[in-house]
Structure 1
Amino acid sequence: MTGPVRGTPGWLRETNDRTALSLLLEHGVLTRNRIGELSGLSKPTAAQMVSRLETAGLIHVVGEVSGGRGPNAASYAVRTDRMLGVAIDIDAEVIRSTVVDAAGEERPIAVTPLAGRSPEVDVRLAIDAACEAAGVDPERVGAVCIGVQGALDPRTDELTYIETLPGWPKQGIRRRLGDALGRAVRIDNDVNLAALAERTDGAGRDAGGFALLWMGEGLGLSVDQGGSVHRGASGGAGEIGYLPIPRSAAELDADARDLQDLIGGPAVARLADAHGLSPQFDGTPDAREAFLHELARRVAVGVVPVLALLDPELVVLGGATGQAGGPRLAALVTAELRPAWGDRSVVATGVAAHPVLRGAREHLIGDVRDALFAEVSRIAP
């Protein structure tokens, strides 16, 4: 659909309407007069904008504000139920999903078993569960963003490293899901989505760029370059778990052959158990400290190639291990690196919970807002 020509009355109306919608998304509930003040437009123009957006069903009256001696002023908000998305995080056992609206309102997180029968069944169940938890109509959902423990090649629509997705095909997955669900589908690596959450709400918020070392059941690396995640030519950048460990690290674990063997989830669980700790590293203070010292030596082995190849401003330790180890583990890793690498900045994740889901939400907030703004273009003059 071709929009109005720049500089024409139609273009000006659309620009003003987009401005009003942006202000309502940014500030929440506003009156017509306040919209006029924030936009710098006259009261009559602001009133016309509000009238057009309300008639189109994009905003609605949500209350009144006292106008002093005059009549109360109606207050308006965006109809966030008009366009919805669902963020989905799939791990080896369950699917977590949550509804996303243009305002970014927090919604309940639904958890469903990973059926493994087909991607269509898995994703449809996740959408329905999220909508039921949020009390919204699934028909309002126009887009989904799915975080998977794998990589999607954007050139061929091929999934790789998907051992945790039984029943999912390698070829044509995004197109297949889009056709079956009748919705826009985005699929991304879980660690890349976690890095987006780290950039938006976590330790990477003020960094020019950073590397997220994800230590969960498996390992992953995501590199943020000034707000843009490096995915590589085939979408498989960051599969650091396959990296062989150097000979100098053999004393840490004689049987380890690669980083997954050294700091992957099973290896960390065995090390914690050997120190008498729970899988969440709970135990006596002395036992926890001894464990973290030993773990830090191992994690430093994984950080060194990141420093050598990428030289990031910041290294963030994420995943279950980074979360449980917290700032103390980050400080010990920094100390391990200092003799050879100086005072490198290694920090714990700043995202308290569900980083993959939060990253998928960030993607969808943008998508849902774009859909709302596209509706503005369709408002009749």
Structure 2
Amino acid sequence: MTTTQPGTPGWLRTRNDRLALALLLEHGPLTRNRLGELSGLSKPTAALMVSRLEEAGLIHVVGEASGGRGPNAAVYAVRNDRLRAVAIDIRETVMSATVVDATRTEHPIVEIPVLPHSRTPEGDVRQAIDTAVTAAGVERGSVQLVAIGVQAAVSDSGDTLAFSETLPGWPEHGARRAIEAALELDVTIDNDVNLAAVAERAVGAAAGSESVALLWMGSGLGVALDLDGRLHRGATGSAGEIGSLSVPRAAIDLAPDARDLTELIGGPAVTRILRRHGARGKRLSELLARLPDDAGALDELAPRIALSVIPLVAILDPQLVVLGGPTGLAGGAALAERVAAQVARLSRWRTPVVATAAGPAPVLTGARELLVAELHRRLDSAVTGLPG
């Protein structure tokens, strides 16, 4: 990347061009005059910024705005057709994926069933990308990077997986490299709960909190710890894999046969509770639809979750606990309020407990946030060294 000396005309041009690009990303399509107003720069300077960015292929004309008494003014926007990404959430029996671009265009979310046999990392990701770009109606060649959420502990390098039983055909080592080599893309792999925590920080309940513990409850369990926007991953990437922790002694009256936290509040345990209270359905998602209105099931589930939350607040002392995953989403505020009350009853802690607010696809949302940040970084880097 070309660098310029601070204070020189080249440095000033680059600074102005970056500002113009940032304003277009923040505000969407703008005229030259509006860019000048938002940037505080003169109309001639704004015109030069637009010309340089357009000649570099970073922005293009997308329409016209009424010029009042004069001619209509061209409206400019950041180009998305050359640089896109795909966010992917890979679960045990289904993958979800969506196209991502720098201006946060809403593209369809696709779901692709997966079979346990004949799977490979590159095969799964190729299928997810192809399905997503077809649904979005965009060119496959514009996709340059992917972010993938998986139900596994992921090392800092993204190339070593542990607790990966839901990823048949994926090797313990080398999955990221295999995908990059086969698809010629830049690849990020992360734990799905960590990506959900990114979403919670960006658009959900964790916005503005200094430290947050996200307890993910679905078919399995996981915890993500967000420290002022930085995820704590642990030495091997396995921080938060709490499903196999032994249940506390206090759980014997609630679930005498439960040996670990998964058996206490994981998918099968929640399924049994809901069915005892009259819910009908084959899948956990079908059963959970009844949870918000079932006071008995909420009352039975809350102390179990509280016994899982108490060790988290005792060790981590977060400012906030968020109940996420399918169970946390379905239970909503009614479940969170009950859990908070049970934590206070069973311990000395008074940590606020709230329901997730990151929407129904938090893993994809978190992956999307990472990708948008990287797309912006690449666009910003492309501005450096543009000719004057």
Q: TM-score range by the shorter chain?
A: over 0.9
Task: Tell me the equivalent position of 1:297.
Answer: 303
Cα 1:378–1:173, aligned 2, differ >3 Å: closer, same or farther? Answer: farther
Task: Tell me the equivalent position of 1:70.
Answer: 70
1:113-132 aligned at under 5 Å gives the runs 113-115=113-115, 116-132=118-134
- Supply the AA of the counterpart residue of 1:68: G
Task: Tell me the equivalent position of 2:254.
Answer: 252
- Supply the AA of the counterpart residue of 1:312: P
1:150-165 aligned at under 5 Å gives the runs 150-154=152-156, 157-165=159-167
Q: How many residues of Structure 1 are paired with residues of Structure 2 in the alignment? A: 380
Task: Tell me the equivalent position of 1:375.
Answer: 382
Task: Tell me the equivalent position of 1:81.
Answer: 81
Q: Is the CA contact 1:155–1:234 (under 8 Å) kept in the aligned structure 2? A: no
Moved more, 139-148 or 166-175: 166-175
Task: Tell me the equivalent position of 2:331.
Answer: 325
Give the TM-score normalised by the residue count of structure 2: 0.94
Task: Tell me the equivalent position of 1:362.
Answer: 369
Task: Tell me the equivalent position of 1:207.
Answer: 209
* 1:111 positional shift: 1.4
| Distance in 2 of aligned mates of 1:155 and 1:137 | 29
Unaligned runs of 5+ in 2: none
Cα 1:59–1:298, aligned 2, differ >3 Å: closer, same or farther? Answer: same
* 1:200 positional shift: 0.8
Residue deviations 1:308-341, cap 9 Å, x none?
0011111000011101111111111111112333
Q: Is the CA contact 1:87–1:98 (under 8 Å) kept in the aligned structure 2? A: yes
- 3-state DSSP of counterpart to 1:97: strand
- 3-state DSSP of counterpart to 1:111: strand
1:14-25 aligned at under 5 Å gives the runs 14-25=14-25
* 1:284 positional shift: 9.7
| Distance in 1 of aligned mates of 2:178 and 2:290 | 47
* 1:277 positional shift: 1.7
Task: Tell me the equivalent position of 2:96.
Answer: 96
Q: Is the CA contact 1:31–1:73 (under 8 Å) kept in the aligned structure 2? A: yes
* Root mean square deviation, CA, Å: 1.6
- 3-state DSSP of counterpart to 1:250: helix
Q: Is the CA contact 1:276–1:283 (under 8 Å) kept in the aligned structure 2? A: no
Cα 1:156–1:374, aligned 2, differ >3 Å: closer, same or farther? Answer: closer
Unaligned runs of 5+ in 1: none
Task: Tell me the equivalent position of 2:49.
Answer: 49
Q: Displaced runs of 4+ in structure 1, greater than 6 A?
A: none
Q: Is the CA contact 2:63–2:74 (under 8 Å) kept in the aligned structure 1? A: yes
Q: Is the CA contact 1:203–1:316 (under 8 Å) kept in the aligned structure 2? A: yes
- Supply the AA of the counterpart residue of 2:348: W
Aligned-residue identity in percent: 57
Residue deviations 1:205-256, cap 9 Å, x none?
1212211000010000001111111111111110011111111211111111
Cα 1:73–1:156, aligned 2, differ >3 Å: closer, same or farther? Answer: closer
- Supply the AA of the counterpart residue of 2:380: F
Give the TM-score normalised by the residue count of structure 1: 0.96
* 1:71 positional shift: 1.6
Cα 1:34–1:315, aligned 2, differ >3 Å: closer, same or farther? Answer: same
